[in-house]
Amino acid sequence: MALIITDDCINCDVCEPECPNSAISPGEEIYEIDPNLCTECVGHYDEPQCQMVCPVDCIPKDPDNVETQEELMEKYQIITGNA
């Protein structure tokens, strides 16, 4: 499942550079995560890096984009050209 940034985001800018898939970008008011690019860092790290650095804990799993570990790995392979 992809992650999502909630309205609690304070636009501190620490999550965007941590994303290995460039899934995080500035939105109208807060940062946003592109669910087509978010793999929860599967294939890169053991834990989502954006969640690790977020000072306000505003990056939960997105219930509207549920994916298994296998689906996240497949997405990672497609994004990185290793499919």
Q: What is the pLDDT of residues 3-46, one digit of tens each?
A: 999 999 999 999 999 999 999 999 999 999 999 999 999 999 99
Domains recognised in the chain with CATH numbers: 16-80 (3.30.70.20)
CB 58 within 8 A of CB 50: no
**Measured CA distances, 33 to 39, 80, 82, 83 (Å):** 11, 18, 22, 23
Q: How confident is the model at residue 1 (pLDDT cuts 50, 70, 90)?
A: confident
DSSP secondary-structure letter at 41?
T
The confidence score (pLDDT) of residue 83 equals 67
Tokens read off for 28: 């109208």
β-bridge mates for residue 31, sequence order: 26
**Measured CA distances, 80 to 6, 57, 60, 77 (Å):** 27, 28, 24, 5
